[in-house]
Structure 1
Amino acid sequence: MRLSLLIVGALLLSACAGEAIKYNHYLLRSDIPENSNRQMSEDGLLLTHVAVATYLNEAGLVLETAEGQINTAELHLWAEPLRHSLHKFMADEISAATGKDIYTTRNGLSQPAAEFSIQIDQMHGTHDGQALLVASWAVTTSNDGKRTKAAYQFAQKQALQADGYDALVATEKQLLQALAKAVAETL
């Protein structure tokens, strides 16, 4: 009897161990084709940094489960930290919207036409089936040795086209593209 219980227990353990947990990783990439092997203009714009709210520093996608309560997904993860992927994504999208080169470092840029930074304060799914993006940005320009700074805000919600994390990522990407266009209009 004991032997049969041990065998059944061992079989159950091996069955559970054989089931692999499936993680889903999402890359945030622009759909804008990259131009390779070209010289960037000297009058480019400099995106100094993209900062994200602390709760977005987690690897998991974020859902609001109730008003003011959030849940970070354990199996649906960003493939890389948002602060890094957002920097490249926003530079590509803003470059396409302005028709100007967007630098992400000062490398090769003596004096940018403008410098700007972006702060992502909220980016998550809501409990009512939408995606929310709240952000702000600041632009500093230099004209005749005089520096001018302006600040802007952006807040939009958009309904998901389907249920699930794939739809959340797609909708967040659309909201980020709308943010990029709003930023481009101020440059």
Structure 2
Amino acid sequence: MMKWIPVALALLLGACSNTPSKTYYQLPAMGASTQVNDAPASRQLWLEHVSVADFLAQNGVVYQTNDVQYTIAQNNLWASPLDQQLQQTLVTNLSSALPGWVVSSQPMSSEQDVLNVTISGFHGRYDGKAIVRGEWVLNRQGQLIKRPFDLELKQGEDGYDALIRTLAQGWQQEALVIAAQAVHI
């Protein structure tokens, strides 16, 4: 009986070494490469809320496997909740795109513009594209601007690293659209 214990231990340790490791992803804050220069100084923008669809609010990175099926990764996970990452990177990207503005995720005054964003797609897709989809509403002193967005960006490479970088690129592109709209209303 005792001679089987080392064999059982070896099998148990071998099984443990084959468990896949978890990888955690954080969206890179890319900063906008283009600035909207005709913005007046001292404007304020409060990014009140970024919400994500329920299927995106999980820990795992989402991948669409066909036209109706989605998979939530078990080993490729967001390092922090996706809605928080989207809000933080949007503040960074808008701050970079809007010189002279104060962009914050906290309320500042009654004179601020207010932005809310709803994300309905932020995932990879079976055809090698990254999907960034949703809508945003900008309130400037009672004037509301509501815009949908639907970006499909081709990944340059395969894999989750490339997917996350491509999603971040799409999010930065949408930040530039929001910045341009904020300046012109």
Report the TM range for the smaller structure's normalisation.
0.7 to 0.9
- What is the match of residue 105 of structure 2? 104
- What is the match of residue 35 of structure 2? none
Farther-moved stretch of structure 1 (61-70 vs 8-17): 8-17
Matched, 1:30 2:29: yes
Q: Distance between the aligned counterparts of 2:75 and 2:20, measured in 1?
A: 8
Matched, 1:132 2:127: no
Farther-moved stretch of structure 1 (161-170 vs 92-101): 92-101
- What is the match of residue 59 of structure 2? 59
TM-score (norm 2): 0.86
Task: Report if the CA contact (8 A) 1:45-1:112 is conserved.
Answer: no
State the Cα deviation string for residues 16-67 of structure 1 (Å, max 9, x = none).
224454111111231339xxxxxxx853111111011111111110000111
Amino acid aligned to 1:167? A
SS at match of 2:131: strand
Q: How does 1:71-150 map to 2 (within 5 A)?
A: 71-99=71-99, 100-106=101-107, 109-142=108-141, 147-150=142-145
Q: Distance between the aligned counterparts of 1:29 and 1:111, measured in 2?
A: 31
Bigger-Rg structure (1/2): 1
Residue 163 of structure 1 deviates from its aligned partner by: 0.8
SS at match of 2:173: helix
Residue 154 of structure 1 deviates from its aligned partner by: 0.7
Moved segments of 4+, more than 2 Å: 2-10, 17-21
Q: Distance between the aligned counterparts of 1:6 and 1:113, measured in 2?
A: 70
Residues 1:112 and 1:47: Cα distance change in structure 2 (over 3 Å): farther
SS at match of 1:166: helix
Q: Distance between the aligned counterparts of 2:159 and 2:11, measured in 1?
A: 31
Matched, 1:175 2:175: no
Task: Report if the CA contact (8 A) 1:42-1:110 is conserved.
Answer: no
* Structure 1 gap ranges (5+): 34-40
- The aligned length equals 173
* Structure 2 gap ranges (5+): 33-40
Indicate the structure whose relative CO is greater, using CA pairs within 8 Å and at least 6 residues apart.
2
Identity of aligned residues (%): 26
Residue 6 of structure 1 deviates from its aligned partner by: 5.0
Q: Distance between the aligned counterparts of 1:182 and 1:94, measured in 2?
A: 10
SS at match of 2:109: coil
Residue 9 of structure 1 deviates from its aligned partner by: 3.0
Matched, 1:154 2:149: yes
Q: Distance between the aligned counterparts of 2:7 and 2:19, measured in 1?
A: 21
State the Cα deviation string for residues 136-168 of structure 1 (Å, max 9, x = none).
0001111xxxx2112101111011111110010
Task: Report if the CA contact (8 A) 2:25-2:79 is conserved.
Answer: yes
